[in-house]
Structure 1
């Protein structure tokens, strides 16, 4: 079995709905050889990343940047993961009330420093809440898990 780790900050009902959609997609019935572990960024640490085969990050846009919770996760994990997780497939979704570019840029910089590789381009859910965000998040979770299940990454 392979493990997909989802590290997502969900401080609101909308961000919680996105995290649940990602998890639902990752646990799709057609995906047989992947387990999904969902963690709050304050609880996740380097040992969790070292135990996974791919990681999916989720955050709201806060003041044009990632949430403090996700930043805390990276602050506690970065040096313990350097040179140990090169090539780890990763994905990202951002619930952005504005444009999300600062959040995306900040996370991409950290991901580059860790040597992780994007399994898919970051999903930026921009503007006012739209119910289609749920579908997009579920598809992202399914894509990440299916890619692991099928040996694509």
Structure 2
């Protein structure tokens, strides 16, 4: 069974709704042969990342950047994963009050360094999330999970 690791920092109701939509998409009954492993960013380890075949990352925007919790995960996992996880697929969702560009850019710099392959456009939400944005989160989860199907 392939393993999809969802590393998230979910401190608000808006991010909780996005997280639940991503989980729903990634665990849709049509997705077969993929196990979704959920880890809060401060609990996720390099070993979790090394055992994963793909990744979904979720973060709030704090001071224009990804959360410190997600950054901590990357700090711990970056060098152990640098060569071992090259080419693995990932997706990203972010929530901010007015601008998400800095957080998306920061995550993309790190994932580029890791040579992970983005398989879906990032879902960036300000305010809301709306019904359409939750649908986009669902599609993000389903898309990343589907890329791992045998």
Question: Which runs of no fewer than 5 residues in structure 2 stay unpaired?
Answer: none
Cα distance in 2 between the residues matched to 1:123 and 1:60: 12
TM-score relative to the length of structure 1: 0.92
- Deviation string, structure 1 residues 3-47 (Cα, Å, up to 9, x no partner): 111001100111111111111111001111111111100111111
2:18 corresponds to = 18
- The answer for the alignment partner of 1:52 in structure 2 is 52
Q: Matched residues in 2 for 1:53 and 1:98: separation?
A: 33
Aligned partners of 2:18 and 2:129 also within 8 Å? no
Residue 128 in 1 paired to residue 123 in 2?
no
Q: Normalising by the residue count of structure 2, what TM-score does the alignment of the two structures yield?
A: 0.94
TM-superposition CA deviations, 1:54-84 (whole Å, max 9, x none)? 0010001111000110011111111111111
Q: Return the offset for 1:96.
A: 2.1
Q: CA deviation at 1:137?
A: 0.8
2: CA distance, partners of 1:50 / 1:95: 26
Shift in Å, 1:105: 0.8
Aligned partner of 1:82 in structure 2 is 82
CA RMSD of the aligned region, Å? 1.1
Report runs of 4+ in structure 1 exceeding 6 Å deviation.
none
Distance 2:129 2:75 in 1: 32
- Number of the residue aligned with 1:31: 31
Question: What's the secondary structure of 1:61's corresponding residue?
Answer: strand
